[in-house]
Structures are given as structure tokens and as C-alpha cells.
Amino acid sequence: MALPVDIEALDKAFSGIGVDEKSLISILTNSNEEHKKSLRKGSSKLFIEDAKGFERSDQFSIKILKHQFKRFRDAVMLSVLHPWERDARLIEKAIRKGPKHYNVIVEMACTRSSDQLLGARKAYHSLFHHSIEEHLVTHIKGRERKLLVALVSAYRFDGPGVNEDVAKSEAQILYEAINNGEKNKLLDHEDAIMILATRSKQHLQALYQHYNQSYDKTLAQDLEGEGILKDTVECLCTPQTYFTRVLEAAVKEDADEESKRALTRVIVTQKEQLVKEGFVPNKIQDILLGLYKDFMLASIASGDIK
């Protein structure tokens, strides 16, 4: 018969993001059939006892468990791919999966250097025999299309130097567009899209500071609830805020599967930024499990910046 400590350890092995492979090996390889039967009876996370006393698997729980076992594999694959291929595949998948995933396109377009984004666009040609822009136009029919096409087409100036007067005047343009009853139409605002899609990140960060100093709310606050517009501003102007928001959403008790997947994507693909910002993984280490946990924490700690 399984001891309560074994049942507790089995449940704990599945009670996080990832699975505790070492505990599973220890428990299951040392179990005979009677021991496994009592494990099934005691493990409400994976098994349901029917009216005849048969301990059958809970298929919904098994489906969730499959996602947990895949996390380590997915993290490894994202790490081993060429960065250009990795980003191209993430963008293509986001286009296919629809509006709830457009933040991934924004993330790839706005956190990469101009050369890195150009590399992803070249990889997309080779992998999918179309341009990113063509697939965006083909598959996205909503108002987000214009901004997304502009973002992935950008080749921003990466050097220093900001014209503060221009940054201040463009902060005013955004403020007036948002606060003159046009916030919901900002995706159609030609000047707003031009500013977000063409200006250097240094320029946009200066614009962000002018906006915050001149008005009652920050630009991000004024765009609260505006989906990819807020994501765009945060990725370009305050990437650490964006990454923290994504990571915190992933480890919430009620986090959905897409939020949890974002944890892998951000840590593996944005490691350079996380290391640069001095990200300390205290908020994630207690909820991650097994090889997935080891891989995620080692990825951040290694500082292996490419």
C-alpha cells in the first residue's frame, strides 16, 4: 500500500509548471501493482474512481499533464534553434493562432534589433515561402493589421541621439489622439502608427518620458486595455515592465495555458534583456518543477548572451 507521503509526493510532482521527474522515477520504479493501485486511489489529480470502484484516468488531467511534460522539450527546442528561425516560427504560429497571440508578433518585432528582425524576416522567406508582411495581410483582417505590418517592416536607427523637441511634440500627438475620444481609433491613426513603427527606441523612450512628465497618466496607463498598442509601447519603451508582466501572469494560480507557455518563450528568447535588467527569478523558482525548472533558472543564471 502506498504511504501518504508517496501520494503527497506524487501530487506535488504535478503541482506546478513542469513536472518533478526525479520524484516520479523514485516513486514509480519502486512500486509494485498493489502500491500503484493505492497511488491511483489516492491521487485525485489524475484518477477518478467510478461506481464500480475502478480507478480510471481523468482525461482532462492527463491532457494538462501532457503540456507539463512538453515544457522541457519546448524550452530545449527554442534554445537550440537559430535565433532567426526561432523568431520566424514564433511569428508564423502567432499569425495562425489569431488575435489572442498577436502580442507575440509585437514582442518579436519590438524587442529585436533591426538586424535581428531583418534576419527573422529572411528566415521566414526560407521556411514559409512568403514574407511575414504577406502572411499578415492575408490572415489578419482586423484593425491590428496596419500596425503589425508596419512593426515587422521596420528597420529602426539603432544609434544614439534624440531630438528632444520632436520627441516632446510627438508625445503631444499621441496624447491628443488618445484623449480626444480617439483611443479606440488609435490603430487607424496614421501619425501614431508612423511614430511607433519608424522612430528609434531611444527616441521612443524619450517620448515616453516627456509624455509621463507632461500629463496626468503615463502613456502605458493611458493605453490600459488597448491590447497590442500597450504591448507595443511597453516592448519599445519599457521592456522590463512588459517582461515582468508576462512572467507574473504565467505564475498566477489561475494562469491559463497560453500564459504559462509565455514563460518559456520570454525566458529563452529574451534572456539577453532579462540578464541586462538584472532579473532575479524569485517569483518563478517556487512554482517551477523538475528539469524544466533547472533549465529555466540555469538559462537566466548563465548570462550566456548572444
Q: Which residues are annotated as a binding site for Ca(2+)?
A: 14, 16, 18
Can you tell me which residue has the cell 504560429? 93
Of 197, 54, 60, the C-alpha closest to 117 is 197
Contacts of 20 (CB under 8 A, 6+ apart): 12, 13, 14, 289, 290
Which residues are documented as binding site?
A: 14, 16, 18
> Looking at the chain, how many residues does it have?
306
* Rounded Cα–Cα distance for residues 162 and 168 (Å): 11
Q: How far apart are CA 292 and CA 68, in angstroms?
A: 9
Question: Could you give the angle at which helices 201-214 and 190-198 cross, rounded to 10 degrees?
Answer: 130
| Nearest alpha carbon to residue 104 among 77, 132, 67 | 132
Measured distance CA(262)–CA(274) in Å, rounded: 14
